[in-house]
């Protein structure tokens, strides 16, 4: 009997639906206790015990993968990002890594837009003042008066630019790969180098994948290029930003504010200075929040797991019919 390890916490509330389906394919299911993700040492405790996994941002280092091989055949990543998995090591060991491309483009891009509007219109701060008994009118501005820069123009970056275009903002974009000319023309997007984008943008939206070239792309030097009145929005990956440098810039008035959904260390440590800053909007790595899109990813992850184990399976609709 093949055994699978499920550590994707977004699936936990629904396992009473999905475990019976996996059991119909003759699979034994192991579900460990997981708070946010499984670190390497926690995964080591299960090495050699499972043939496939549906995981979140678990730390599949070369050492973990080697310990799990040769039994481990497939890692079905819940969602899109696979930066927590050493892909080179997985390939060398013959372990398939499958994900759901374009999984959360809509909810993440809408969350970025919400952050822009909160800062542009000062809504959270007026709400806070009102609840303190203050009739305080805080001056705002419109996005049509602003320049919005997007770093990383993949699916999410494109979706952010499309949405912000409707508000009449000037749009700047930077990526290390070429951006389709038709997209740029259709959405009136100007491409530029990183420094120019940071110098000219009122809002900087981070949308890259986490790669060696994007790790700490926003650091003390690049933060110094930004306007003191600018706002940084990060809904990509925490390590894209050098967090200590960002905290210093926010504390010293070098940056107006930030909206952060992701952090260098998650959960965010309880002693983080970010938690005490009134010019920062925080959320707990949750911009993907959407029952509709979660459901899509649940089913696609199950299908990826089965395919990776060489178990015959049809499309997602046929798989759904197995739910009793």
Catalytic residue numbers read 237, 266, 285
**260, 242 contact by CB (below 8 A):** no
What is the C-alpha to C-alpha distance for residues 97 and 72, in angstroms, rounded to an integer? 11
**Six-digit token pair at 47?**
């090495």
What is the C-alpha to C-alpha distance for residues 286 and 77, in angstroms, rounded to an integer? 17
**112, 158 contact by CB (below 8 A):** no
- C-alpha pair distances (Å), 219 with each of 210, 214, 244: 15, 11, 9
What is the C-alpha to C-alpha distance for residues 44 and 3, in angstroms, rounded to an integer? 16
User: 278 CB contacts (<8 Å, ≥6 apart)?
Assistant: 125, 128
**66, 86 contact by CB (below 8 A):** no
């Amino acid at each position: 009997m093949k055994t699978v390890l499920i550590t994707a916490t977004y699936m936990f509330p629904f396992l009473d639906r999905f475990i019976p389906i996996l059991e119909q394919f003759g699979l034994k299911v192991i579900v460990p206790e997981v708070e946010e993700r499984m670190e390497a040492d926690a995964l080591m405790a299960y090495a050699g015990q499972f043939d496939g996994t549906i995981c979140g941002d678990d730390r599949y280092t070369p050492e973990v993968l080697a310990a799990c091989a040769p039994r481990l055949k497939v890692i079905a990543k819940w969602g899109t990002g696979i930066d927590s998995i050493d892909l080179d090591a997985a390939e060398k060991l013959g372990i398939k890594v499958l994900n759901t491309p374009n999984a959360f483009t809509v909810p993440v891009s809408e969350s970025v837009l919400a952050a822009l509007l909160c800062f542009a219109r000062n809504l959270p701060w007026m709400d806070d003042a009102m609840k303190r008994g203050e009739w305080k009118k805080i001056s705002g501005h419109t996005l049509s008066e602003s320049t919005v820069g997007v770093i990383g123009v993949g699916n999410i970056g494109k979706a952010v630019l499309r949405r912000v275009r409707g508000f009449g903002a000037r749009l700047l974009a930077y990526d290390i790969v070429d951006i389709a000319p038709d997209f740029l023309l259709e959405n009136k997007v100007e491409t530029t180098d990183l420094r120019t984008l940071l110098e000219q943008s009122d809002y900087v939206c981070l949308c890259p994948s986490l790669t060696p070239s994007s790790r700490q792309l926003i650091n003390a030097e690049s933060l110094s290029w930004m306007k003191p009145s600018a706002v940084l929005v990060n809904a990509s990956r925490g390590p894209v930003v050098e967090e200590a440098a960002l905290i210093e810039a926010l504390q010293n008035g070098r940056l107006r504010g930030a909206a952060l959904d992701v952090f260098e260390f998650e959960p965010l440590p309880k002693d983080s200075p970010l938690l005490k800053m009134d010019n920062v909007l925080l959320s707990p790595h949750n911009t993907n929040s959407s029952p509709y899109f979660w459901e899509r990813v649940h089913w696609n992850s199950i299908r990826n797991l089965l395919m990776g184990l060489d178990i015959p399976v049809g499309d997602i609709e046929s798989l759904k019919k197995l739910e009793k």
